[in-house]
Amino acid sequence: MGIRTGGPAPVPNIMNLRDIHVPVLLERCIALLGPALQRAADEGRTAVYVDGTLGMGGHSEAFLERFPDIRHIGLDRDPDALRIAGERLAPFADRSTLVHTVYDGIAEALEIAGVDHADAILYDLGVSSLQLDEAERGFAYAQDAPLDMRMDPTQGITAADVLASYGEGDLRRIFERYGEEKLAGRYARAIIAARQETPLERSGRLVDILQAATPAALKNAGHPAKRVFQALRIEVNGELAALERAIPAALRTLSVGGRLVVLSYQSLEDRFVKRLFAEATSSTAPAGLPMELPEHAAQFRLLVKGAELAGDDEAALNPRAKPVRLRAIERVREAA
């Protein structure tokens, strides 16, 4: 984990960022997290806003502009994202700290920034526009590129490594678990057979293998590579394991009145968030007690009922918002 505070190398076409990158559900995120930032200000404290998935800095820029006294901490595992966001947020460098880490490293990031709590936290999950648009990163099945898929290209295994080293059973497992792919076994067998001839190193060849292995009757039921690419990306980056650590870690950092908003883009992520939020908002009282003792009362409450979706207008303006599911939670009391 490292730290970046202003002064990154110049980013080409930085002035076009606002055109190519539209933050998802920006106004709703501000409406949900703003009261927590205002509460801290009303208490005479410097409000701390954490963007746990900084990306290209769109959400962070808006919060820094709208709340001119907040302290900002941005986390991202992608060095390119930190570089671009650092350029975009350069006008706010005196109250912004950017940290190179996965979003489950929030406690360490706060320590680096010299603060011991957060008042508002945003997690915008999944693959970023930057990663999808950079063909050579290998995230997009529509473009032929090396099978990398690492969100942090400086470390870890690549998708090509997974395809070269995992057995048929392991490939089937990740396709089923992380891609919810009904043809997982068929695709795993096809990959094992194909790699006996030559290694799978490019996305175009993987797409060809998956298309050839797809029954004719199912070829019009969505692109056959979509769920396999999702599964490989989640496996390479350990996304769900990081998410299961990140939510409790984020909740522990929140001050009373502090809020966390999570934006999910696929059902696996959203189910994780739903379960972790349900646990956080439940009483810890043992079953059968005649009354709940104060120390057993829930420390958090839900801010929205279920998962909120993007409206038609936003989805039309920003196609990336179409699958989003928003959930939000607030700390109502300190831990016992």
pLDDT computed for residue 132 by the predictor: 59
pLDDT computed for residue 287 by the predictor: 64
Neighbours of 104 (CB within 10 A): 20
| Residue 21 and residue 33 in one domain | yes
Tell me if 290 sits within 8 A of 218, measured CB to CB: no
Domain-terminating residue out of 218, 237, 256: 237
Is there a domain that residue 58 lies in?
yes
| Residue 73 and residue 102 in one domain | yes
| Residue 209 and residue 253 in one domain | no
| Residue 111 and residue 247 in one domain | yes
| Residue 102 and residue 244 in one domain | yes
Is there a domain that residue 6 lies in?
yes
Q: Does 211 belong to an annotated binding site?
A: no
pLDDT computed for residue 4 by the predictor: 42
| Residue 247 and residue 291 in one domain | yes
Tokens 């001119």 belong to 68
Per-10-residue mean pLDDT for the chain, 336 residues long? 41 53 91 98 96 96 97 95 95 97 96 96 82 64 89 92 97 96 97 96 95 88 88 94 96 97 94 95 70 74 96 89 96 86
| Residue 192 and residue 216 in one domain | yes
Q: Does 166 belong to an annotated binding site?
A: no
Token pair in block for residue 97 = 């700290």
pLDDT computed for residue 286 by the predictor: 66
Is there a domain that residue 131 lies in?
no
Q: How far apart are CA 261 and CA 31, in angstroms?
A: 11
CATH number of the domain that 316 lies in?
3.40.50.150
Number of domains in the chain: 2
Q: Does 312 belong to an annotated binding site?
A: no
pLDDT computed for residue 210 by the predictor: 96
Range of the domain at 111: 2-124+239-331
Lateral strand order in the sheet of 118-124: 2-4, 96-100, 71-76, 48-51, 118-124, 254-264, 325-331, 300-302
Is there a domain that residue 135 lies in?
no
Q: How many angstroms from the chain centroid is the CA of residue 224?
A: 24
pLDDT computed for residue 9 by the predictor: 37
Type of residue at 115: V
Domain-terminating residue out of 237, 271, 302: 237
153-183 b/e (C-beta count within 10 Å ≥ 16 → b): beeebbbbebbeebeeeebbbbbbebbebeb
| Residue 245 and residue 263 in one domain | yes
Q: Does 131 belong to an annotated binding site?
A: yes
pTM of the predicted model, to two decimals?
0.88
| Residue 166 and residue 306 in one domain | no
| Residue 211 and residue 243 in one domain | no
Burial (CB count within 10 angstroms: exposed 0-12, middle 13-18, buried 19+), residue 56? buried
CATH number of the domain that 217 lies in?
1.10.150.170
Q: Does 57 belong to an annotated binding site?
A: yes
| Residue 117 and residue 255 in one domain | yes
pLDDT computed for residue 307 by the predictor: 96
Domain-terminating residue out of 199, 215, 237: 237
Is there a domain that residue 220 lies in?
yes
| Residue 216 and residue 282 in one domain | no
